[in-house]
A = this chain, B = another copy of it.
Amino acid sequence: MMKIHVVKIGGHLINDENLLNFCLESFCKLKGYKILIHGGGKKVNDLSDKMGIEKKIVRGRRITNKETLDIVVMTYAGIINKNIVAKLQSYQCNALGLSGADGNCIKSFIRKDDHIDYGYVGDIIADKSINTDIIKFLLEIDIIPVFCSVTHNGKGILLNTNADTIASCIAISLSKYYKVELHFCFEKKGVLRNIKDSESFYKKINFSLFQKIKKDHTIINHGMIPKLENAFFALKNGVTKVSIGLPSHILKSHDLNKTVLCL
């Protein structure tokens, strides 16, 4: 089985030009099949502020009304995706940017919730939402797919989908065909024990430790729990390795700036 690297980049990394460049250079040097998935960092907030659009957060989740969806699409599928692709191309990496609508790569359904109307938010399911045929096709002609976190519902509606979930679902769905390694890259060395101490990262988290951490509420920065849920879900569904850390760790397997997850 061929190996494939599925690399998710997000957090402040997206907004830090030097770190982003370093990350993309490292990504280019990865040998063999690879896929990049990116989040949007804080650019959506910046643009919403500029355009005077109010941000609405309910229970820690952004509500995506039509105006916000437009900004999400402009930012994720437009400026961030195309600039990443252009940079990768300048490093001789034949990248091709995709939303979930393109080639019908990722089909989602509007989130249903009895209590909250999330608006234009799309959820996906690992074994149903990902069009592996087109992804495999692109990989086989040496194209590097670069996914933004915009999907579609097949009925003409674009939807905002969590980038970690996309990374995890793509990784799982490709694990039928390839040996998949999933790397989450951001601006920290790994999953921190103490959010104020950047050196306090776990070297390793297994599933029972994760359960304990969750129960004890000892964790950590906001958004890390769903990221870890996605990561463990991937491990339980065919993905070989999952790690979280600085971009440096994707290229060098012995690099210690990461948290390795295991079952």
The answer to whether residues A157 and B86 also contact, given A95-B102, A102-B96, A143-B103 and a CB cut-off of 8 A, is yes
Cβ contact within 8 Å between B82 and A77: yes
Bound CA–CA A10/B154 (angstroms): 24
Interface residues of A in 91-111 (CB under 8 A from B): 94-99, 101-104
Interface size on A, residues (CB 8 A): 39
Bound CA–CA A63/B174 (angstroms): 45
Contact residue among B83, B90, B150 (Cβ-Cβ distance under 8 Å from A82): B150
Give 1 or 0 for each of A143-166: 1 = CB within 8 Å of chain B CB.
100000010101111100000000
Give 1 or 0 for each of A46-75: 1 = CB within 8 Å of chain B CB.
000011000000000000000000100111
Cβ contact within 8 Å between A156 and B75: no
Q: How many copies does the complex hold?
A: 2
Residue A79 interfacial (CB < 8 Å): yes
Chain B residue contacts of A79, Cβ below 8 A: 70, 73-74, 78
Chain B residue contacts of A154, Cβ below 8 A: 89-90
The answer to whether residues A82 and B89 also contact, given A51-B50, A101-B97 and a CB cut-off of 8 A, is no
Residue A116 interfacial (CB < 8 Å): no
A102 (CB) vs chain B CBs: closest residue: B96
Bound CA–CA A95/B103 (angstroms): 6
Bound CA–CA A140/B171 (angstroms): 26
Give 1 or 0 for each of A26-61: 1 = CB within 8 Å of chain B CB.
000000000000000000000000110000000000
Cβ contact within 8 Å between B78 and A158: no
Cβ contact within 8 Å between A158 and B94: no
Cβ contact within 8 Å between B86 and A96: no
A133–chain B nearest beta-carbon distance, Å: 9
Bound CA–CA A85/B50 (angstroms): 27
Contact residue among B83, B98, B102 (Cβ-Cβ distance under 8 Å from A158): B83
The answer to whether residues A90 and B51 also contact, given A78-B79, A79-B74, A95-B102 and a CB cut-off of 8 A, is no
Residue A141 interfacial (CB < 8 Å): yes
Residue A87 interfacial (CB < 8 Å): yes
Cβ contact within 8 Å between B90 and A155: yes
